[in-house]
Amino acid sequence: MTDRIAALDQYVEQHVQQSMQELVRLCNQPSISSQGLGMQECAALVAELLRSRGIAAQVMETAGYPVVYGEYGTGERTLLLYNHYDVQPPEPL
């Protein structure tokens, strides 16, 4: 195992409880885009969690729901992560 992978593995082990608590917070936050429920609050929560990890995050307003944008580091390479923070409404669909 390389030093970087070993360091990552150690970090994950040391922060598993915190990560689980953050996951529970995200799962408990409503974010149903088809109903407009909790989207602003969830975007703010995602930005807060990114900032807690040292990422310069901001919530950017759009014509629809907000976009959460973050940057970390200043290296020559760029890694883009694209995801969504909304969920499907409960049954019936």
- Specify the pLDDT at position 93: 62
* pLDDT tens by residue, 21-78: 999 999 999 999 999 999 999 999 999 999 999 999 999 999 999 999 999 999 999 9
State yes or no: pLDDT of 7 exceeds 90. Answer: yes
Specify the higher pLDDT residue, 47 or 89: 47
pLDDT of residue 8: 93
Q: Long-range CB contacts (< 8 A, 24+ apart) of 19-28?
A: 22/49, 25/49, 26/85
Could you tell me if 28 and 45 are in contact, meaning their C-beta atoms sit under 8 angstroms apart?
no
Find all residues with CB under 8 Å of 43, minimum gap 6, and list them.
59, 65, 66, 67, 68, 85
